[in-house]
Structure 1
Amino acid sequence: MTDDGTNAPDDGLPPWLTGLVRRTEGEIPPELARYAGPAPAGARGSAVLVLFGTGARGPDLLFLRRSGSLRNYPDQVCFPGGSSAPADADHIRTALRETWEETGLDPSEVRIAGTVFPLHLGHSGFSVVPVLGWWGSGSEIAGDGEEIVSVHRVPLTELSDPAARLLVRLPDGHLSPAFLVRNVFVWGLTAALTAWLLRLGGWERPWDTDRIEDLPDVRRRYGGGPPP
């Protein structure tokens, strides 16, 4: 346990997750090239918690659906997280604090595996550090009812199902990974991170990369908010 009360890296983590973290080091992957590079001037610091757990169908990931009334990323499915606060010691603290505020998840339940290089969202001006964590079988959590309207634990086996995979064409013509699973539409930075981690972890299965849909069409069916 660290001085600030969070768990130190490699504390009670499954070996496959520590191996995954090691493989995140190196060159910028193609899935995240759109979000890499130098931070834009005046970028605002933030962090997200990419939280792995385990359920009846094996490893899963935690996703949250944001309220449609929010100014930033309304109605989008995302990882928990948000803006850094002056009192946050580091990006890990930001990710844990924001997750607690959004879902009530006690930070002591989370084991930190590591962090990933910063990623940048030009539309909103955020610079995002993904924090990879583990919470085992996890506890019962729910959205706060204001910012977060629903919580979803999605098994990696469902995310890697070829039927769940597609590419969406953004308004600028860029093709971006996306997922349609359990009537949940995951796209943007969240989907790009998910696609990369599935590939690194060996969960990815061959899928139809010619399955391309325009983002507005998918959003009309499943929601998802405006592009980043």
Structure 2
Amino acid sequence: MTAFEDLSALVARYESGNGGHAAHWAQLPVSAETNRPAAVLMLFGRLDNIPAESGRPIAPVDLDVLLLERAHTLDDHPGQVAFPGGSVDPEDESVIAAALREAVEETGLDISGVRVLGVIPELGLIRSNFRVTPVLAWWDSPSPVRVVDYAESAQVFRVPVRDLLDPDNRVTATISRFGRTFTSPGFTVNGLLVWGFTGMVLSGLFDELGWTVPWDEGKLHDVDL
């Protein structure tokens, strides 16, 4: 199967109730009384003209995903790598509409070239108290993307999926707070660490798709905040 077919089949499994990661993600609780809905756009497409750094024959070899680095001056999750997205506004017709709107506002994306495949079950984002719905999409006609507002984002970039899957680039991110140590799957790409919510979602997605290459989960990477 092609990457597009794999992603489409995954959405179909979730829609039929056969997705495997909803129970794992449900371990991220939010306040039942005060949580807010949000959505992120997980936009995959054929690799652009910037090749993967990894030379390993890891499938899929011709795929990338759109990410951004949040501005370092933000109060919430400063400097972290994330999917385009944000809170669902009252005027948004759906979580899909919210994810697309936020992607346009953050990256200048032309959504006429985007094919929405469906949604993945919502996840809890503890620190911000959001219920986040990942919207999975395919980039039929890639458009230029950029930082629209430097107060919100430091950079916008496409990263080859092969680089994310390369075991050399995979780590377990660790952060210690209030006497406890928290961990998440992490990826070291583009001189950045992808961890936390985004790292967990990507890792879970790759596992569910059967794309994950065995990696050393004991390789720790301390998060520098």
Assess same fold via TM > 0.5: yes
1: distance between equivalents of 2:68 and 2:4? 24
**1:34 CA drift (Å):** 3.8
Contact kept in structure 1, 2:40 and 2:83, CA below 8 Å? yes
% identical aligned pairs? 39
Q: 1:210 to 1:33 in 2, by over 3 A?
A: farther
Task: From 64, 69, 72, give the equivalent of 2:68.
Answer: 64
Question: Is 2:163 aligned against 1:158?
Answer: yes
Contact kept in structure 1, 2:70 and 2:77, CA below 8 Å? yes
Contact kept in structure 1, 2:20 and 2:208, CA below 8 Å? no
RMSD: 2.1
Measured against aligned partners, the alpha-carbon deviations of 1:180-214 in whole angstroms (never above 9, x if no partner) come to 01212100110001011112222211111111233
Measured against aligned partners, the alpha-carbon deviations of 1:164-188 in whole angstroms (never above 9, x if no partner) come to 1011223232321011012121001
SS at structure 2 position matched to 1:150: strand
Task: From 91, 104, 107, give the equivalent of 2:108.
Answer: 104
Equivalenced residue count is 204
| 1:17-96 to 2 correspondences below 5 Å | 17-24=7-14, 25-28=18-21, 32-35=25-28, 40-55=32-47, 57-96=61-100
Letter in 2 for 1:98: E
1: distance between equivalents of 2:210 and 2:26? 20
Q: 1:14 is matched with which residue? A: 4
Task: From 115, 120, 124, give the equivalent of 1:120.
Answer: 124
Runs of 5+ in structure 2 lacking a partner?
Answer: 49-60
Q: 2:182 is matched with which residue? A: 174
**1:33 CA drift (Å):** 4.9
Q: 2:143 is matched with which residue? A: 139
Letter in 2 for 1:70: L
TM-score, normalised with respect to structure 2: 0.83
TM-score, normalised with respect to structure 1: 0.82
Contact kept in structure 1, 2:96 and 2:135, CA below 8 Å? yes
2: distance between equivalents of 1:31 and 1:54? 29
**1:46 CA drift (Å):** 0.7
Contact kept in structure 1, 2:113 and 2:141, CA below 8 Å? no
